[in-house]
A and B are shown apart, each in its own frame.
Chain A
């Protein structure tokens, strides 16, 4: 059985040849390091530097603030995160009303998680309602969040996603991006963009031709669609 690609790849230039056979380890290491540094995983970056010998231009000390802020949100300590962001640069929350709302919303979610219902209500009224008045989109999100209170067990409710780890991750990433933006650094790591580029490219190739090829369907495991691999092989 011949490999679909090796038959058709042009391999005309050295750079693309490398891409065909495999990718230089050092490049992948840089991608991983870029992910750690951009997302503010300072300990992982440090360990990775030691274990793989990959260096980064970024001074890891400067990421520390970002890491602590990320950690605070991920642990549900949103007030602490807000305090730290304001220490770092008070203009960030001043100018980004969407981010500000999401952090306040996260504070509300944490109160509900801790079952402090009275506090949660007071907080929603005092801090979130005025923001909702200025922006109908916020109001809708606020209403959805308050719906958590209506269920005996919010964890099985239709709004249970708000209590997930995912939610904290999202808020943490949004805050992280805003800090990077304020520091004129790239907001997004390269990795997600490359994965998206692959998905887009595969779709484009589908549009361009009917020939099927081994297409990566699962981006977390790199598994390809086997059925399409078979078709072109029959002669």
Chain B
């Protein structure tokens, strides 16, 4: 920051330029007059003058902070409070002016806010809140609010219970403006220190809600600010508000008729209460009524909270997501995203970006048109860049957005591939945030499903190594997503890809996954096997070869009635078996000689699952398939199956209730004839 180093450009040389030191010297003198030992009347006039100098003037604040004014003023406040007797007029004025001065130093200048926090004035100011002199209370509350709204507020220590209690006691004041100041501070206590439950334990929410009925707009706004902060992600408090019909109807009215800042605050409150899980129907319905208001706010002003409110409102509500898309929300959000840095103040940029990406992600989760809009508006590049953002929440939001977009094959083939999403996405697999890892691995599942060049890229970039690592995670969701992604990667993959994957995943790890404690992970592991053995004999060979058929014996175990495996696992396992049976005679004989066959028979007899019966019929079809050059071995297998009672079983299924089963049964029986 430059202070007084140069005059206004056009004033030329005509103006005498006071030296910086001149101003500094004066400041130094002034601070000297605030020190101990100076006569109170002198102190008082100097303090007032100081107050008038710095209010609204950052340059002056800077100069005085440098000269130690904050320490001096905070000392005046402390000394006054240390005196046991009540204040005389001069002391009262000194206290009020110190509070005003400390408040001003906290505002608009980081250095000032830091100095005030360091000086320990917060304790003295909160103590003043309990004064019987309303002038002192108002002065202290105003100063505290400025401090809590400053850019350094995050470094403040949480307020003590007694301070919170004093603030709550201000809420029913006749002087509603001071009550509003208190509500704003309490809102910050929630946002910065998560003290909503403490506040509520003193009955704070009820008292804050009363402010909504004030005739003074600023007081209503402060009340809403606090209600929004207290109910955000707090189910109990949100329910508390939603049960107060007067408060809800006031909020609804304010959301429709107030100024845009009033509207937004009302929307934040209503969003909090209407998006709670198991909110009553009439409260949940408010989301629908709120949506047009929020969309309009999106159109009108770049307010940092708007995208977040929109995202929360739409979460889990496909119908609302559709309406939001129809109302042009995606193009407004994307346009804002593309010009994000210019549109918001620096301290809000990350928050805004997070909101925009989340909202875009949620709207396009089930909506291909929305995804196409994002692509057409050239939003992909920015979204992919955001995957690398230094802010964890932005990365998570970008990842969510990428996940929605990756549901579109068109998006994968064109823009996501062109924007080289694989690099940043893969690095998110080792992100410090588990949330980001989870979403990133889910996104990867979609990316690798069908588009070969993308598979190649991800392989080349070491994606499987990352996935293999994640498959060892303690986090079962991460294990699930990573095995799922590997499964998708293997889907219709060529042999080279399969080999590369298994090099990274390794056979022992696959066996571990087949024995995973989570059934969902097990399913994915079985489908990995199923995809591995799909295709040619060369594809089957490595699987059955590994450790003399270790994989086969796991399948055998998974299929045995005593395993307690779910129908889904058994179905995929049977299909894996069926794929193996499509291999060479050797492969078929491995199955014929294994215990798997009796499980297959069990599956044919399973009345519950027609899918299982179909899968089992496929095994028989493959086993009894007669190749032109080696009919003999087929005949031997057929005989063996007949001995085991497969033919009779199939005969009994010719009138199966499932058409699919019937067709397969008829086809299988043909070989027995």
Contact = CB atoms under 8 A, between A and B. Distances in A.
Question: Are any A and B Cβ atoms less than 8 Å apart in their complex?
Answer: yes
Contacts of B57: 100, 127, 130-131
Contacts of A82: 52
B103 interface: yes
Interface string B25-61: 0000000000000000000000010011001111100
Given A91-B142, A94-B104, A146-B11, A130 B3 contact: yes
Interface stretch (A26-34, A117-125, A202-210): A117-125
Place the interface of chain B in its size category.
20 to 34
Interface string B41-84: 00000001001100111110000000000000000000000000
A146 B2 CA distance: 22
B110 to A, nearest CB: 16
Best-surrounded residue of A90, A96, A139, A184 (most CB of chain B within 10 A): A90
Nearest to A100: B56
B15 interface: yes
Nearest to B26: A126
B188 to A, nearest CB: 16
Contact of A129 (B7, B103, B217, B219): B7
Contacts, number: 75
A89 B99 CA distance: 12
Nearest to B53: A127
B146 interface: yes
B146 A125 contact: no
B104 to A, nearest CB: 6
A91 B48 CA distance: 15
Contacts of A121: 15-16
B564 to A, nearest CB: 68
Interface in B150-183: 177
A229 to B, nearest CB: 42
A94 B8 contact: no
Interface string A98-119: 0010000000000000000010
A126 B18 contact: yes
Interface of A, secondary structure class, is: helix
A147 to B, nearest CB: 10
Interface string B136-153: 000000100010000000
Contacts of B632: none
A127 B55 CA distance: 12
A143 interface: yes
A164 to B, nearest CB: 24
B85 interface: no
B16 A91 contact: no
Best-surrounded residue of B7, B8, B52, B107 (most CB of chain A within 10 A): B8
Interface in A128-157: 129-134, 139, 142-143, 146
Contact of B4 (A93, A118, A130): A130
A122 B11 CA distance: 13
A97 interface: yes
A177 to B, nearest CB: 15
Contacts of A184: 177, 216-219
A183 interface: yes
Contacts of B23: 126
Contacts of A227: none
B55 A86 contact: yes
Contacts of B142: 89-91
B460 interface: no
A132 to B, nearest CB: 5
Interface residues of A, number: 31
A126 B9 CA distance: 15
A94 B107 contact: yes
Contacts of A146: 8, 11, 15
A132 B8 contact: yes
B97 to A, nearest CB: 9
A37 to B, nearest CB: 17
B628 interface: no
B15 A124 contact: yes
Contacts of A139: 8-9
A180 to B, nearest CB: 12
Interface string A160-190: 0000000000000000000000011000000
A30 to B, nearest CB: 19
A79 interface: yes
A188 B177 CA distance: 20
A90 B7 CA distance: 29
Nearest to B143: A90
A86 B100 CA distance: 8
A47 interface: no
B56 A93 contact: yes
Contacts of B9: 139
A136 to B, nearest CB: 10
Contacts of A118: 16
Nearest to A127: B57
B474 interface: no
A139 B51 CA distance: 24
A83 interface: yes
A129 B177 contact: no
Contacts of A97: 56
Best-surrounded residue of B11, B16, B103 (most CB of chain A within 10 A): B11
Contact of A90 (B8, B59, B104, B217): B104
Contacts of A93: 55-56
A124 B8 CA distance: 10
B89 interface: no
B132 interface: no
B10 interface: yes
A131 B15 CA distance: 17
Nearest to B59: A130
B52 A142 contact: no
Nearest to A150: B14
A66 to B, nearest CB: 15
A33 B155 CA distance: 50
Contacts of A79: 52
A90 B101 CA distance: 9
Interface in B277-320: none
A83 B48 contact: yes
20 contacts: A83-B48, A86-B52, A89-B142, A90-B142, A93-B56, A94-B104, A96-B56, A121-B16, A125-B18, A126-B4, A126-B18, A129-B4, A129-B8, A130-B4, A134-B58, A143-B11, A183-B177, A184-B217, A184-B218, A184-B219
Closest CB pairs A-B (n = 4): A100-B56, A130-B59, A184-B216, A93-B56
